[in-house]
Structure 1
């Protein structure tokens, strides 16, 4: 199933849930779902899918509203006696149609109404001009018959351009998010990049806002662009995506601790790394007997924020449980943290790549993947989490605070909307992000049966931007 198909079906599910709430007092949930599915089936086989969820919602909402508003059938009027005289044949009966509705127009209405409710499953390609003509005729007919003025055109949307971390791409492309911004008069156009790329190499003059995935990157952009304002509309702790056999194996090895949510001991993990322990050397290993080092798969530390967060945690543990600061501490931790990255081989530029491989390939190439918690929860809402997939929390962990830096007034408008608009905050939770309303996130996780940490206690601070950059630059040089 393609990503576009998954996004379309997710939009249909969310719209169905919304209409169930809207019509809760008049229609059962089963009826609303039936009407939505019937409307959705009308678009089977059509090649252009961009606006299908929007059209399905309009059709279903119209039908449900019409059934609520439909009056009771009127009592039949008593029959009048037949006239005793025949009306003169040369006198036409007065018409009760408006003068501007011609007979052929009325016929067109009847023909449009006679179109079958379900579209044919095979593709029927109509000339573009004919399709436009049908829409125009229908609009003219409605205006003429109703004798009402067409509403004034809506003011054009303000286009706001932003560069964002790739893990937020699905959120901004969600049709409900697009509509929520449009309701506020805004159309957001986005490009995605690694968060470190956004801070260091992306030409920000082309954008109205920058939205990396960490506070240090955001603060660096503020400093570079001399911007005093920032917004942190949502956040996500770092996590590890793995599989049940791997979690069980690492539990026996003392790395994973079972509980309400599985936790992953970074200190014990680093011991296995420094002793070059292989998977097939673990006691009782019958599920993943491979001659590979025990390593978490990450993104490229030269471009990606999630890799920087991995470095922040591992350097903290390697530094004796203290945030790295100063040249001496940096020098002491560099050999180990460098090994964590260079031993992996190829790494992707953004967190989207390794997580998609986790979802589609299985545990063969990457038994453990470093991710944002939001990615796992979002995948669960899409139905992509399969039995046996497990979410673990590193101990300690860090909170990745998605920081929006407005570069002008339009970007500031988007930052304020994301931070204060209740609908956008709810939609962010549906994409797995922890927003200001913790209940929204908890409900999404519970509804999709994802065990998440409700109280994040073992959270450590991130090094300063300059220290983090020194470490990342040094690791980057080791790649050659």
Structure 2
């Protein structure tokens, strides 16, 4: 129940923010919050919570804008649906709602359980509030004391299975995302894995889609599975998550440049790392006098896309700021950058672990972490950052294109929806990703005052698929 309560609270915070955005010119923020609170109390005490946030939002919208009634909804009331008086302060509205659902369940039984014969929308009228409950019988079962459990004949959702980069788990775990997909008749179940794992070792036969975090990993899947289609619903540049004392120390060393957004000079960093410089050797270092190499912490390049993107950036810089092509350039780049990985010690297989360590354990174990910008922004939006945490943009950086590879028709539906559905695109932005409409991302970061570079300029292309594979193979051999 604690998990369900947390999910409901998160959904209620999100719907309140939407209502403030939509009605801010007509109503104060306090008025909107008061309406949401009043409507919410109508559903206190009811154990079936699945659609409570949807119900609250619909009723609140009617209270805030009575002129926005939907005539087609009002006309969709059938003989099996009774108007429900909500009243301005009624605490019994929830009971009336569930009574009506019970009658819908009885109607379904009388029709041989054929849920298609039921009205798809139920109208609740009273106190100026009109509520459309979209396919509510799909999820609610009502207990009637005199006749035992009554099912409303659920409308089936098509289950789609996917394997996704771990940094996207928070997105797919979001109940709002689940609701948005359910509107299209889909229930998505996903397993996390490192993007390199998805493209190399995960058994994709049991999945409908694969969703790695780069175009290169997606291309490998396409080649091996004989798939031509793909979708790129959103992207995320690679960044470095650090702490203010570390950023200040590296500013003194000439590697970091503060400003509206903090930048990290990869060329100067590479020169420092090649010398084997340790933290306690930096001039004036009193904040982090630790005897270990000055290195950015990454994941394992043999399994994780984020580490592959780190390799792409550092190889570009090591190759005299030129995209690596050919065996000679590959060998030269690897000779300069392999120690950036092999000197780290243990590295995790996906980006979720290092970022959680960064959030939880401070700069002691992880002074700098190579992560997706989306992870940092998502943490900022959800209040998980500490005051001394700093976002740095590598100069140059690389854009990670999160790419859906559909493995069948169901996977293709997911790819299309994630790319074209406005609600899913908005939710992607709320989880820190840069969707196809840049204004969605800008709006989220402005609202939460996250200092991001909305107009990325110093972005390099990763090497082509075959070259990146060769570089990764050479680095992997360097571990031995």
Q: Taking structure 1 as the reference length, what is the TM-score of the superposition? A: 0.79
Q: Secondary structure at the match of 1:179?
A: helix
- TM-aligned CA deviation for residue 266 of structure 1: 0.6
Q: Secondary structure at the match of 1:398?
A: strand
- Tell me the distance in 1 between the aligned counterparts of 2:43 and 2:250: 48
1:232-271 counterparts in 2 under 5 A?
232-271=232-271
- TM-aligned CA deviation for residue 26 of structure 1: 7.2
1:210-229 counterparts in 2 under 5 A?
210-229=210-229
1:420 aligns with 2:441: no
> What residue in structure 2 maps to residue 297 of structure 1?
297
- Seen in structure 2, the aligned counterparts of structure 1 residues 471 and 7 have a Cα distance that, compared at 3 Å, is farther
- Paired residue for 1:151, among 101, 119, 133? 119
- Seen in structure 2, the aligned counterparts of structure 1 residues 43 and 465 have a Cα distance that, compared at 3 Å, is farther
Pair member with larger Rg: 1
- Seen in structure 2, the aligned counterparts of structure 1 residues 282 and 6 have a Cα distance that, compared at 3 Å, is farther
- TM-aligned CA deviation for residue 331 of structure 1: 1.8
Q: Which deviations, in whole Å up to 9, do the C-alpha atoms of 1:298-354 show, x marking residues without a partner? A: 111111000000011111111111222222222222233221111111111111111
- Tell me the distance in 2 between the aligned counterparts of 1:160 and 1:404: 13
- TM-aligned CA deviation for residue 290 of structure 1: 1.1
- Tell me the distance in 2 between the aligned counterparts of 1:325 and 1:68: 60
Q: Secondary structure at the match of 1:264?
A: strand
- Tell me the distance in 2 between the aligned counterparts of 1:373 and 1:395: 14
Q: Which has the higher strand share?
A: 2
Which deviates more from structure 2 when the two are superposed, residues 325-334 or residues 34-43? 34-43
Q: Secondary structure at the match of 2:397?
A: coil
- Tell me the distance in 1 between the aligned counterparts of 2:100 and 2:412: 41
Q: Secondary structure at the match of 1:357?
A: helix
- Tell me the distance in 2 between the aligned counterparts of 1:40 and 1:246: 45
Q: Tell whether the 8 Å contact from 1:160 to 1:188 is kept in structure 2 after alignment.
A: yes
> What residue in structure 2 maps to residue 338 of structure 1?
338
Q: Tell whether the 8 Å contact from 1:233 to 1:419 is kept in structure 2 after alignment.
A: yes
Aligned residues: 417
Q: Tell whether the 8 Å contact from 1:164 to 1:190 is kept in structure 2 after alignment.
A: yes
1:58 aligns with 2:55: yes
- TM-aligned CA deviation for residue 22 of structure 1: 5.6
- Tell me the distance in 2 between the aligned counterparts of 1:41 and 1:290: 54
- Seen in structure 2, the aligned counterparts of structure 1 residues 6 and 390 have a Cα distance that, compared at 3 Å, is farther
1:103-252 counterparts in 2 under 5 A?
139-140=101-102, 150-151=118-119, 155-252=155-252
> What residue in structure 2 maps to residue 278 of structure 1?
278
Q: Which deviations, in whole Å up to 9, do the C-alpha atoms of 1:149-190 show, x marking residues without a partner? A: 952666422222111111111111211111111112222221
- Seen in structure 2, the aligned counterparts of structure 1 residues 142 and 366 have a Cα distance that, compared at 3 Å, is same
- Tell me the distance in 2 between the aligned counterparts of 1:245 and 1:6: 34
1:297-446 counterparts in 2 under 5 A?
297-446=297-446
Q: Secondary structure at the match of 2:347?
A: coil
Consecutive unaligned residues of structure 1, counting only runs of 5 or more, are: 71-112, 118-130
- TM-aligned CA deviation for residue 475 of structure 1: 2.1
Q: Tell whether the 8 Å contact from 2:36 to 2:60 is kept in structure 1 after alignment.
A: no
Consecutive unaligned residues of structure 2, counting only runs of 5 or more, are: 68-89, 107-116, 121-136, 139-154
Q: Tell whether the 8 Å contact from 2:398 to 2:459 is kept in structure 1 after alignment.
A: yes
Q: Secondary structure at the match of 1:172?
A: helix
- TM-aligned CA deviation for residue 33 of structure 1: 1.7
- Tell me the distance in 2 between the aligned counterparts of 1:44 and 1:382: 25
- Tell me the distance in 2 between the aligned counterparts of 1:449 and 1:40: 29
- Tell me the distance in 2 between the aligned counterparts of 1:156 and 1:5: 25
Q: Tell whether the 8 Å contact from 2:233 to 2:415 is kept in structure 1 after alignment.
A: yes
- Tell me the distance in 1 between the aligned counterparts of 2:346 and 2:100: 57
- Seen in structure 2, the aligned counterparts of structure 1 residues 460 and 7 have a Cα distance that, compared at 3 Å, is farther
Q: Tell whether the 8 Å contact from 1:233 to 1:403 is kept in structure 2 after alignment.
A: yes
Q: Taking structure 2 as the reference length, what is the TM-score of the superposition? A: 0.79
Which deviates more from structure 2 when the two are superposed, residues 335-344 or residues 249-258? 335-344
Q: Which deviations, in whole Å up to 9, do the C-alpha atoms of 1:86-126 show, x marking residues without a partner? A: xxxxxxxxxxxxxxxxxxxxxxxxxxx87799xxxxxxxxx
Q: Tell whether the 8 Å contact from 2:180 to 2:424 is kept in structure 1 after alignment.
A: yes
Q: Tell whether the 8 Å contact from 2:196 to 2:304 is kept in structure 1 after alignment.
A: yes
- TM-aligned CA deviation for residue 52 of structure 1: 4.6
Larger RCO, structures 1/2 (Cα 8 Å, 6+ apart): 1
> What residue in structure 1 maps to residue 465 of structure 2?
465
